[in-house]
Structure 1
Amino acid sequence: MTVVGWLPAETEELFGAQATAEESYDVLTVDVPPADWITALETARDRLGCTYFDWLSAVDEPGTGIRVAAHVVALAPVRRLLIRTTVPHEDPSLPTAVGVYAGAAWHERETHEMFGVVFTGHPSLDHLLLPEGFEGHPLRKDFVLAARVAKAWPGAKEPGESEHGGPKRRQMLPPGVPDPNEWGPLKGTLPPAPARPARGAGRA
């Protein structure tokens, strides 16, 4: 075990036995399990001098979970620290960081709306950006982009779909865009998509 970056001691000593750390582009990143989330933030504030709270947000990583990250800064000298943890898609829950950094309140509300992460103990986990009654969490990869089903994207989307010609590559549906024959106003009215030839079938 070694000391990473500007940490005054080994990562495991500061953040727990399951913590890992790495430094890149002048940002020190520490990953901890969800159970150590609040303790890690307290360590950053009290032992590392990271008294400035910058932001908190998340990233949906399919097959892994929802990674929540908080960026905090020590000001004299300036040292940036990114603390991350990953919660499962089935139960995306973390204790609120408001008791450690009061500025986290609005960020947690936004992350709750956009990713569905529940911050237990938050004083008011109300809507911040989305209207009341909005269903779903728009920044999760499984969120259905209904507008892309109801109306095709304007203009050429793929090579070969414009008047300029050119080879046409295999069609792909990006995350959030379902099969229009399975979801939306055309559900059940379209013929099944043609089967794709096996890879390499035409090279014999």
Structure 2
Amino acid sequence: MTAAESYDRLPDAVTEIFGEDATAEQAYDLLTVDVPPASWIAALETARDGLGCTYFDWLSAVDEPGTGFRVCAHLAALPDRSGPGPAVRRLLVRTTVPHEEAVLPSAIGVFAGAAWHERETHEMFGIGFDGHPHLVPLLLPEGFEGHPLRKDFVLAARVAKAWPGAKEPGESEHGGPKRRTMLPPGVPDPNEWGPLKGQQPVVAPTTGADGAGGVDAGAAGADTGAAGTARRTRTASQGSA
């Protein structure tokens, strides 16, 4: 049986080709095979030797909260240049490792081109690849802490560097009172994290005990009452019309 014929038997024959724990699906002209971590290298070898997917395209991961890191390798079987041959056959081999033990054997023994991809995946997600000869940072600056593509990574852009846009009320020549700074989702309080940690004044919240909170609540109630009266007035006038 040729590699193309074996490929065409998928996804139905996935357990026969990749093992009893493997699953497969085909969508949007892409065949995806999921295998357990223990079968990761064997699955890549099967794809290369049994299905003719000798072209390594890329390797990366996705952080799935509550599930783990889904590591993906995209491969392809190229058509024979000597004749028309079949079209390019694409294959995505995936496995999932838990967040607590994010380690896989390195794929460079099967596809040498995976070396830099594993370095990037290790750097961005913190996934280890056993057997990699040089698993060192590739893209981030020296001394960078954390793994920025993890879902739990702190989004600290606004903390580390001030927003260069328009001035907030109370800043520079602006004459109005300074309003409470709003932080984007995922950004911590700059007084608790970042270069200004512990250097910002702590502002005590206002409560009804000192009267400030009561004034604000009263003003809010007055506004609500006025708005309610206006709504009732409009409703009554519309009904009479």
Q: TM-score range by the shorter chain?
A: 0.7 to 0.9
Shift of 1:65: 0.7
Q: What stretches of structure 1 of length at least 5 have no aligned partner?
A: 157-170, 193-204
What is the rounded CA distance, in whole Å, between the counterparts of 1:126 and 1:138 in structure 2?
16
Shift of 1:182: 4.7
1:46 to 1:130, Cα distance in 2 relative to 1, 3 A: same
Q: Which has the higher contact order (CA 8 A, sep 6+)?
A: 1
What is the CA deviation profile of residues 31-54 of structure 1, one whole-angstrom value per residue up to 9, with x for unaligned ones? 111111001100000000000000
Shift of 1:177: 2.6
Q: Aligned residue for 1:159?
A: none
Runs of 4+ in 1 over 4 A off after TM superposition: 150-156, 179-182
Shift of 1:19: 1.0
Alignment of 1:1-204 (within 5 A): 6-7=8-9, 10-76=13-79, 77=86, 78-150=88-160, 174=185, 176-179=186-189, 182-184=192-194, 185=196, 189-190=202-203
What is the rounded CA distance, in whole Å, between the counterparts of 1:100 and 1:107 in structure 2?
13
Report the structure number with the largest CA radius of gyration.
2
Q: Which amino acid aligns with 1:6?
A: D
What is the rounded CA distance, in whole Å, between the counterparts of 1:172 and 1:63 in structure 2?
26
How many residues of Structure 1 are paired with residues of Structure 2 in the alignment?
175
Contact 1:29–1:83 under 8 Å retained in 2: yes
What is the rounded CA distance, in whole Å, between the counterparts of 1:190 and 1:141 in structure 2?
30
What is the CA deviation profile of residues 119-139 of structure 1, one whole-angstrom value per residue up to 9, with x for unaligned ones? 000111112111222211111
What's the TM-score once normalised by structure 1's chain length?
Answer: 0.75
What is the rounded CA distance, in whole Å, between the counterparts of 1:6 and 1:153 in structure 2?
54
Contact 2:68–2:99 under 8 Å retained in 1: yes
- Kindly, what percent of the aligned residue pairs are identical? 74
Q: What stretches of structure 2 of length at least 5 have no aligned partner?
A: 1-5, 80-85, 167-181, 206-241
1:148 to 1:172, Cα distance in 2 relative to 1, 3 A: closer
Shift of 1:14: 1.2
Shift of 1:186: 6.2
